[in-house]
Each structure stands twice: as structure tokens, then as C-alpha cells.
Structure 1
Amino acid sequence: MEEVTVKRQFEAADYVVLTAMLAISVGIGLFYGCTGGKQQTTNEFLMANRNMNPFPVGISLVASFISAITVLGTPAENYVYGCMYWMFGFAYIFTGLASAYFYLPVFYNLEVTSAYEYLEKRFNKVVRLMGMVTFSLQMVIYMGIVIYAPSLALNAVTGLDLWGAVFAIGIVCTFYTTIGGMKAVLWTDVFQVTVMVVGFVAIIIKGSMEVGGLDRVWNISAEGGRIQFFDFNPDPTVRHTFWSVVIGGTFTWTAVYGVNQSQVQRYLTCGSANVAKIALLISTIGMVIVVCLACLSGLVMYAVYAGCDPLQRGEVAKSDQLIPYLVMDLFDQMPGLPGLITSAVFSAALSTVSSGLNSLAAVYGEDVVKLVWPDMEESKYTKITKGLAGFFGLLSMGMAVVASYMGDVLQTALSIFGMIGGPLLGLFSLGIFFPWANTKGAIFGLISGLCMSFWIGIGAQFYPPYVEKPPLSTCCCGADVGNFTMMFVSTDEYTTSSMTTMMTMEMPEERPAIATLYSISYSWYSAIAWLTVIVVGLIISFATGPNDPADIDPKLCCSLVDTMYCCLPEKIKKPLRCGVRYDQQWHVDDIETEYKVVSNKDGKNARAKDETKL
């Protein structure tokens, strides 16, 4: 690659492509705002009339949370640290299975709109509101990140005003979400994921051609220390190992796909639980494909810049700007293609933010507005939920300012998932899998989980963990990138110098003993928070008087033994159900209706009794 001395700019064709992508997204919103029921009811606006095909729902599940951070952050992760992040593909598989078989059936049986309705049915209104507020905090911060990230990309490649781009994205997204409702969100996600995949494929093809093929990409990456798989180091302070990525990643992403309102609301738009499981299967396959494309794009980018790193040369200020820089470098002689691939970054942000706006409108409508005005007429309630979507759109634009101080988008986003999503996953798991847990246990468990995760997460900002990075180089600037392997191997002075510089930067001067806790990999945040909620919640529940499992409505729990070991004899399964009367609901059809009435009555009495203890 030739040495870059000036900042490349968009041409007219690039602006046309980018504008067309935004216009199509707006057009989809207008279409669903003017057809069908015209979004006149909350059932259509929030839930798409609960009759969606699993394909758009599955693709939307892919788009909602691994979009903007995937396009910008994952390739940069592989470029800087190596491809251990690729192992998250295994975590996505376990996440899909856990979400489909442990959490989805519970929400479907209850026919909820807000996932936090479950918390009131299982515990009480206080727990429901605590869960809703925790989710709101997570989503508002996260949406700020994913609005800021593509704006940063646009600023890096075109020189346009960063904050002008922030508001442009926020306004477009808020408009089509408010006008077109859930159907617009789902189908714009399908369009936007298509653009995102096309962008990755174009980078892989063009970049690999630049260095001599995918085999050369792999060889150069291996010589540069980027090919790292199956690191079984048990040390939890190592940033990425097989255990932290697969096990910790499963907890992180199950908090997103299993209990997060944005995802739960999507699969509840399907007509049945079986259709929703198909949607989750599609999304699992889609997530694995997207992470593979993103990681391979990162290796291609490393092969292109192996001996002439833009970060060290000062061509880009942050690793999150590497992908847009690469796009302008590879496609500068192909008008329109930089605009198309930058559109992938914009599409990623739009899909994520639109899902967040719709879900926030749903939870505040169901958990706040209906709580205050339970008898509000439908037309007025629908207008209020649309207004809520618009309000959170404006708020997310404001949070983009905060996101500009948060560091690289990928680790920041996953840290937030762990710090806030982990305690929420623990709260729902406490209710679904532990029938003895009571309201006090749920409240103190959630508070303890949040305190633990924020303690570690904030402490890591003051005492950042030491991270070993493979070296980057500028030794070959102006040379043919095809000669990189030979120069890297033979230039011992460069290799030694680079490693010495890295170690000098990483060596500590003075750190307190507690800093060891803050060095735990961000991949473990969610698992630690989950375990804290479960342990504290059960201790408090048993100390204050546990619930009688026989008094719990079976629809509020998940029987692990029936889900995972359905072929076991009944005499073995019965004691493993922990006293919850699943067998009455599932196998005694002639008294099913009578049993449900008794169960609901007992459960309600138990909850009322528990509330008086507070």
C-alpha cells in the first residue's frame, strides 16, 4: 500500500449510496406507517400483531446487538489483539440453546409484552420496577455508544462534523421507528444486515486480493502472532482465553438474548413458541456467520497493514477508526464502494438503536404508564408509546456525547452488557430456576450483583488490567506488503525493539493489592454478577423464609430436568423438580384447568404475604 499523507474524502457517488441507504430505511418506516393497521394499536406498534414470520425476526435478533460494535470493533480487536475473539462463535451457540429452551418458554406461557411483567408475577411490583430501571440504564448507555461509533467512522473517512453525523443518524432512526413501529424495525433490520454482510464480504475479497489471497492473509497473520485459538489458561485475569470467551461469553450474551427486553420483545412477535425457537435458531446461525466475517475482515486488515500500522503512524487516532480507514484505502479508486461499506456501519447503528427505542417504549408503556393509568383508552396509549420512542431517541443522541469518552466500542459495549446485563440475568434466573427465592432475596440479590459488577468495572477504569499485545510495526512503510513475512522474521532488531517498548509501557509502578480484582477479564463480568445475584438471593431468601415451591405457579419456573433430560423415568424426575408441581400441569389433562386456578390462587397469596414482610 502506498503511504498516505492526506485524508481521503467521499466522492459524489459515495454520498448518493449513503443517502440511498438512509432513504430506504425511512421508506420502510413510512410504508408500515401507512399500510395495514397504520400503527393505531399498541399490539401492532410494539408487537407487530404477534404474527411475524421467523425469518425477519431471526435476522433482527442478529442485527439488534452485534451490529455497530461488530462492524467497527471486532475487526479492530482481531487486528490489535489477535483472533481469540473468534471463539465467541461457540458462546453464541450455547446462548441460542439456553435462550430457546430455558427462558423463551416462560415468557411465551405468560403472554407478556414487557419481560419485566414476569418479575411482578414471580415477586412483586418493586422488583419489576427495579428490573425495568436497570434495563433502561443499560439500553440508554448502549445506544449512545452505537450512535457515536458510526458517526466516528463517518468523521474519519469524510471529515464531516462528528456531531452533525450523530444527530443525522439519531433523527433518521427515531423517525422510522416512531412512524413504522415493530414491523418497520424488523424489516429495516433485514435490509441493514444485508448491507452489513455485503460490506464485510467486499473488504475480505478486495483486501485478500491486495496481499495475494486468503492463504497469504493467514500466513502473514500467523507470523504476526494474530492466530491464537484454544488458549486454555485458567487465569481469569487473562483478557481472552477459551474459558473466558466461551463460558463468560455465554453468560454475557444470554443476558442479551435470554432476558433483555429488546430481544424478548422480538421473538414474542412470532405466532408461537415453536416459531420463536426457529427465529432463535436463525439468529444463532446468523451470529456465527457475522462474527466469522468480522474476524476474517480483521485478519485481512492486519495482512494489509502488517508492516505499516496506521495507528503508530498517526493516520488514525483510535483502533475503532481502522475499518473506515481501510475502506477508503482499498476502494479509493472505486466510486460508490466506500459509500456502500460505510453504509454498513450506519446500518449497524440504525438497526441497534431502532430496536432499543421500541423496547424502551414498550417497558415504559407497560411498566410505568399502565401502572399509573391502568384504564387509559387504546388510541391515547398508542400515541404515548410513540412519544416515548421519540423521547428516548433524543436521549440516546445525548448519550453519544458520553460514549465519546468510553474508549474502544467493542470492549466498552461488552463491559456494559456484563456490568448491567449480568445482574438482570441473575434476577430472572433466580425466579425461573430457584422456586425458594422470595422478594427480599430478589431485591438484595439484584443490588448485590450491580454493586459487585460496578465495583470491578469502575475499578478497572482506575487500574486498567495489563494486556499483552502482539507487536505492530511501521518498518515496511512504502514496501510491498507481500514481503512482510520475510522482513518480520529476519528483522530481529525490530522485533526485539517492539517487544521491549510494549513491556516498558505495560510494567506497573505501584498498584494496590485490590487491583488484582480489577484485572479480571471483562468477559467474566456477567458470570460474576450472575453468581452474586444467585448466591445472595438464596441466602437472603432462606434467612427470611423461603417460598414453598408447591405454591409457585409452574408457568413462572423452568424445569431443568424436564427440559434437558425428558427421557428419564418419572420417579427420578419428580424429586428433581424441587417441589414445583410441573407434573400436574403437564400430565394430568383432565384436571389441568382446576389445577391452574388453584395454583394461581396459591401463588398470588404467597406473593401477597411476602410483600407484607417488606
Structure 2
Amino acid sequence: MSISGAPVARFTVWDYVVFVVMLLMSASIGIYHAIKDRGLQSNSQFLLGGRQMRAVPVAMSLTASFMSAVTVIGTPAEVYRYGAIFLIFCFSYAIVTIVSAEIFLPIFYNLNITSAYEYLNMRFNKTARCIGTSLYIIQTVLYTGIVIYAPALALNQVTGLDLWGVLVATGLVCTFYCTLGGLKAVVWTDVFQMGIMITGFLAVIIRGVVIQGSFERIWNTSYHGGRLNFWDFDTDPLRRHTVWTIVVGGSFMWTAIYGINQSQVQRYIACINMREAKLSLYLNMVGLWITAVCAVFAGLTMYSIYHQCDPLTLKQVKAPDQLLPYLVMDILRDYPGVPGLFVAAAYSGTLSTVSSGINALAAVTVEDFIKPHFSLSEKKLSWITKGLSLIFGIICIGMAAVSSLMGSILQAALTIFGVVGGPLLGLFLLGMIFPCANSIGAISSLVVSFLLTLWMGIGGQIYHASPDKIRLLPLSIAGCSYNITEPPESVTGSPWTTINPVTELNSRPAIADTLYSVSYLYLSPLGTLTVLILGLIISLLTGGRKNKVDKKLLITARSLCCFNFAKKSVQSETEITKETLDGIADTGKDNPTFSDQELNFSDLELKNQIPSTTHL
């Protein structure tokens, strides 16, 4: 039943037309770039667009890559149930942008690398590089599985779209244009899809304002319903969302995405120069703000419409992630094609995220696992990369079925980033901040950190936090305009308050209310700090003070305690001739750590940029 008491509408012919046109437009962009660049067979052209990208399209692609269907569908449902505190993430986005643009970007860009994990090869050794790449592949495949499956399930149960038909269709379209057009196709398709996503949000918001009569009414209803809970400064780490968990935990989590995640790094290092690369990140910050504001206000609009007749309580929808599709089919039923526009917006988010993931997965596999062991021409590498794009696309479609076990799509997706991204961020920071950090400390601390966050992440998914930590806000069915003969099964006590969905288990261990209940946003800083602290201690105990590290691999050491131990060992005055570099390039390929006898430049282009006599 809808706000009018009539059954919610299903998809019409015009809705299907709009949705199919979106898919065809995305595929055509891939075909265009494949034809346009058909004479350019280099792998660099395919993976980095020849490093000729400009700031604006890259910025929109950066925003679209992780503002996926998880954002389009999951965030409004989050706001509907837990309030608009999610908007505090905008502070995290600002912090992350500055850190990524001013710290990580200059290092990656100046090293002239393709895979972010090449840095681990230069700074530590090949083993660290392989572990880092493997963890990234696992993270990306799991995440794309959620991104493909969850919106397909939500939309299937509300609109009637065939679940596996749409899932496979979108997955194949995405794989198609990634395989044909490479990074250029992915970036320009993201630009198109970003526009569709914002348009879908605006359609919901504008129609909601018309129904409610004014923006002020939506705001007042949300205020009286407790949804404008922006400033919750509770320091309890078990609380799911507070200002501290979002600003601190969210900043670490998103830094792991924008600072070191291959999907994002690959875009901004593809810019024509560093100025454009930095500009793309700052423009992306604005894009993140716009998207977050639209998603949050869509959630408030939904609450203002259903605050007295909650479809979730009435079992009109089976899961929170179906709330926004339900709203769309309810309030936009009289506008043929507009529900199709929203579905296109949700799947645009899916396509942009999955295409970014596929392209990045192919890049790291070629750069980190194939090129170091095989001497192949650029043309052969290009064909291998295209083949890998196809293979990873199929794997991601297959992985989508597994994600049905992950629960709420928003928290599940962000938990994955915390479990894997936190330890990886710690590994990169360990190498960039502390010259004394060595491969033994780096690898051992990474393994310990990953096992810790994995254990806590799985425990948090199995044993949910107690209701007082989750703070689910009340919803009502008292104002429903049609007769209810008996309360729905999920309602107990008063007829206007839903119970918390947390299921209490009979055999709940004591640790479930402590370690497993820590906010999922704290997994990332916990993983990062574990690597930094443990890695530094182990490195110092295993001879790290003797390390010799190229300054190009470091952020700075002036204000860090480790600098006192290692500053004399940083190579700053050693003269290296071009003949020496020639020998290093030939003999040091597989051991990139700057040890007592060896130096490494993994990219021949970087070596050629260095004059015959230089200071490192």
C-alpha cells in the first residue's frame, strides 16, 4: 500500500525505455573510445589514457567511483532510520581530500607509476607488493559484489525488475565498455552516470517538496522526528555513528580509498600534470558534498512522507534498502519514465563503481604480477589487460551472489573498506613516514593488523551491537490512511513504534558487547595504527635504523620521533651516475628495497628523467 492506500505501481514501458537507453549510452561511450584510440595499442594508453586526462572529468569519475548504488539506495535509508548525522561525513571528505592531494598524490605522481602498489616494491620488497595487491583484489571483488547484487535485489522486490536478468545485463555492459575503451571509457562514462545519479536524486526531492508543500515542512517534520541529529558528541566507541566516529573513523576509511586505493589513484595519476591531478581531487570534494547533501535530503524527504505510516513496519518492504525504490514507485507513479530514471540513477552508480574496479583490477594484475616476471611488448600487454578486464567482470558478477549474506549494504560496504583498507593505509604510511621501517616490520604488522580487523569485522556482522548503541529512531504507523485489522508481526507495544531489528542470540558471548560492538568506522583507524605502532617497533628491533631510503619515497621525517634514529641513513648526498642507474635497472628489478648495496627504479621512464649526475 502507498500513501494513497493503493498498491505501489510497477515498471511501465517508458520506465524500461529510460533504463535501456542509459545502458546503451554507457556502452556506446566504450565503443566510441575503442574506435577513436584503435591505433594506440600501448598498455599505458589503455590503463591511464596516455596520462592526458583533465581535471573536470577525472573529478566526476572520482566522485562516481565510490558514490555508487550503495549511496543512492543505502544512504537515504540510513537517514530515514538513524537520522541525518551521516552528513557529518562532509567534514571527513574535506580532510581526506587535503591529505590525498598534498601527501599521497605528489609521491605517486612523481614516481611515474601505474599501480599504487609499485610503491611497496620500491619501499620494502616484492613480497610486500604482492600482499598489498592481493588484499586490494580481495577487497575490490567483495565490494563490487555488494554493489552489483544489493541494488538489483532491492529494485527487483519493489519494481518487479527481473533480478538476475538486470544483474547480468548491467555487469556485462560494464565489462564490455571497460574491455573496449579502457580508462578513457570508464572516466567519460562516469561523467555521464554522475549526471544521471544527481538527476535521480533531484526527481525524488522535487516531487517530495511538491507533495509536502514546502521545504520548510520537510525540515520541521524531520526536526520533530529527531532526524536532524547532526551534533552527537558522545565519545563512546561502541556507538555506531557520532561526530567522533564519523570524523575520525570516516577520515581514516576514506583516506584509504582516496589516498592509496588503486581505483582512485589510477585516475588522478592519469592527469596531464600534477596541477590538474590536485585540482581533480578538490573538485571531487565538491562533488562528494553535493552527492551527500542530495542523498541525505532524499532520506529526510522520505521520512517526512512516511513518518506516520512506515512501510518497513507494515512489511510493505522486506528490508531498509528497499525503502527509497518503494518511495519512487509510490510518489512518481503518475510520471511515466521518471521511476525508470531513478532506477537508471541507481544502476549508474553500480556501473561507475564496478567499471572503476574492473579497470583497476586489470591494472594491478598486469603491473604487479605479470610485468615483473615476463618481458612482453606493449601491444601484448594491452591485449592481456583487456582479457583480464573481461575475466574480472565475470568474477564480479559471480561474486554478487555471495553479497546476499552481508546484511545492510551501506554498513557492509564500509566494513569491507575498514577491514582491508585500514591495514593497507597503515602499510603505506609506515613506509612514507618512517625511514627506519623495514620489510620485516611492514609485512608482519600488516598480517597482524589484517587478522585483527577481519576478526572484529566478522564478529560485528554476526553479533550486532546492542539497541542502545545503534540508536534506531522511532517510526509510526498511527497515521496510515487505511484500516489495519491487526498489528503487523514486527510491532509490539504501542502501535506507533517499531522494535529494533537486532536479534538477541541465546548464546551471545561477552566479547560481543565490547570488541565486536565497536563502531565499524573505527576498524580503519584501528588497522592503520596497529601497523604503524607494531611495524615501527619490529623494524627498530630488526635493524631498521640502518635503512637507506630514497627521499622521493618519504613524506617527511622532521617532526617524527623515528627521524632521530634514521635521518643520517636517508640518502640525500649520494651521487649516482646514469651508468649506475642502468645497472640498477637491470639487476635490481626484483628487490626494490633501498638496502645497503642496492637501489631501485621500477619504471624505466623515471630512470630516463634523471640526469647523468644527480642527488637523491
- TM exceeding 0.5: yes
Structure 1 residues 203, 37: closer, same or farther in 2, change over 3 A?
Answer: same
Q: When the two structures are aligned, how many residues end up with a matched partner?
A: 581
Q: What code does the residue aligned with 2:44 have?
A: N
Within-5 A mapping of 1:330-345: 330-345=331-346
What does residue 95 of structure 1 align with?
A: 96
- CA separation in 1, counterparts of 2:592 and 2:127? 17
Deviation string 1:337-361 (CA, Å, 9 cap, x unpaired) is 1111110001000000000000000
- CA separation in 1, counterparts of 2:146 and 2:69? 9
Q: What code does the residue aligned with 2:455 have?
A: W
Are 1:518 and 2:491 an aligned pair? no
* Residues 549 and 594 in structure 2, CA contact (< 8 A), matched pair in contact too: no
- CA separation in 1, counterparts of 2:534 and 2:565? 22
Deviation string 1:95-127 (CA, Å, 9 cap, x unpaired) is 000111111111111110111111010011000
- CA separation in 2, counterparts of 1:507 and 1:604? 51
Structure 1 residues 532, 105: closer, same or farther in 2, change over 3 A?
Answer: same
Structure 1 residues 575, 46: closer, same or farther in 2, change over 3 A?
Answer: same
TM-superposed CA distance for 1:294, in Å, is 0.4
- CA separation in 1, counterparts of 2:593 and 2:438? 13
Structure 1 residues 287, 144: closer, same or farther in 2, change over 3 A?
Answer: same
TM-superposed CA distance for 1:229, in Å, is 1.2
- CA separation in 2, counterparts of 1:456 and 1:133? 20
- CA separation in 2, counterparts of 1:503 and 1:161? 31
Q: Which runs of 5+ in 1 are unaligned?
A: 480-493, 565-571, 586-590
* Residues 476 and 496 in structure 2, CA contact (< 8 A), matched pair in contact too: no
Within-5 A mapping of 1:20-31: 20-31=21-32
What does residue 473 of structure 1 align with?
A: 476
Structure 1 residues 452, 317: closer, same or farther in 2, change over 3 A?
Answer: same
* Residues 30 and 179 in structure 1, CA contact (< 8 A), matched pair in contact too: yes
Deviation string 1:51-94 (CA, Å, 9 cap, x unpaired) is 11111111100011122211011101000111111100100000
- CA separation in 1, counterparts of 2:211 and 2:290? 23
Within-5 A mapping of 1:131-170: 131-170=132-171
Deviation string 1:259-285 (CA, Å, 9 cap, x unpaired) is 001100000110222211000001111
TM-superposed CA distance for 1:204, in Å, is 1.0
- CA separation in 2, counterparts of 1:465 and 1:325? 28
What does residue 35 of structure 1 align with?
A: 36
Within-5 A mapping of 1:177-576: 177-373=178-374, 375-466=375-466, 467-478=470-481, 497=494, 502=499, 511-515=508-512, 516-548=514-546, 551-559=548-556
* Residues 69 and 146 in structure 1, CA contact (< 8 A), matched pair in contact too: yes
Structure 1 residues 503, 78: closer, same or farther in 2, change over 3 A?
Answer: closer
Identity %: 46
What does residue 171 of structure 1 align with?
A: 172
- CA separation in 1, counterparts of 2:230 and 2:173? 40
* Residues 32 and 38 in structure 1, CA contact (< 8 A), matched pair in contact too: no
- CA separation in 1, counterparts of 2:388 and 2:481? 54
* Residues 77 and 323 in structure 2, CA contact (< 8 A), matched pair in contact too: yes
TM-superposed CA distance for 1:548, in Å, is 3.2
* Residues 121 and 592 in structure 2, CA contact (< 8 A), matched pair in contact too: no
Q: What code does the residue aligned with 2:531 have?
A: V
Deviation string 1:157-206 (CA, Å, 9 cap, x unpaired) is 43132111110110000001101110000000000000001111111111
Q: Larger deviation: 117-126 or 149-158?
A: 149-158
Q: What code does the residue aligned with 1:341 have?
A: F
Q: Calculate the TM-score normalised by the size of structure 1.
A: 0.89
TM-superposed CA distance for 1:6, in Å, is 3.2
TM-superposed CA distance for 1:218, in Å, is 1.0
* Residues 122 and 594 in structure 2, CA contact (< 8 A), matched pair in contact too: no
Deviation string 1:245-303 (CA, Å, 9 cap, x unpaired) is 01110000000000001100000110222211000001111111111110111000110
TM-superposed CA distance for 1:330, in Å, is 1.2
TM-superposed CA distance for 1:468, in Å, is 1.9
What does residue 66 of structure 2 align with?
A: 65
TM-superposed CA distance for 1:149, in Å, is 2.6
Q: Which runs of 5+ in 2 are unaligned?
A: 483-490, 601-616
- CA separation in 2, counterparts of 1:505 and 1:190? 39
TM-superposed CA distance for 1:412, in Å, is 0.5
* Residues 123 and 607 in structure 1, CA contact (< 8 A), matched pair in contact too: no
TM-superposed CA distance for 1:512, in Å, is 2.9
* Residues 559 and 582 in structure 1, CA contact (< 8 A), matched pair in contact too: no
- CA separation in 1, counterparts of 2:530 and 2:76? 33
Q: What code does the residue aligned with 1:497 have?
A: S
Secondary structure of the residue aligned to 1:160 is coil
- CA separation in 2, counterparts of 1:327 and 1:161? 18
Q: Calculate the TM-score normalised by the size of structure 2.
A: 0.89
- CA separation in 1, counterparts of 2:78 and 2:501? 22
Structure 1 residues 161, 556: closer, same or farther in 2, change over 3 A?
Answer: same
TM-superposed CA distance for 1:421, in Å, is 0.7
TM-superposed CA distance for 1:508, in Å, is 7.5
Q: CA RMSD in A?
A: 2.9
- CA separation in 2, counterparts of 1:267 and 1:104? 8
* Residues 122 and 607 in structure 1, CA contact (< 8 A), matched pair in contact too: no
* Residues 307 and 475 in structure 1, CA contact (< 8 A), matched pair in contact too: yes
Structure 1 residues 525, 109: closer, same or farther in 2, change over 3 A?
Answer: same
TM-superposed CA distance for 1:368, in Å, is 1.0
- CA separation in 2, counterparts of 1:5 and 1:333? 13
- CA separation in 2, counterparts of 1:142 and 1:248? 19
- CA separation in 1, counterparts of 2:495 and 2:7? 27
Q: Larger deviation: 269-278 or 151-160?
A: 151-160
TM-superposed CA distance for 1:156, in Å, is 2.9
TM-superposed CA distance for 1:143, in Å, is 0.5
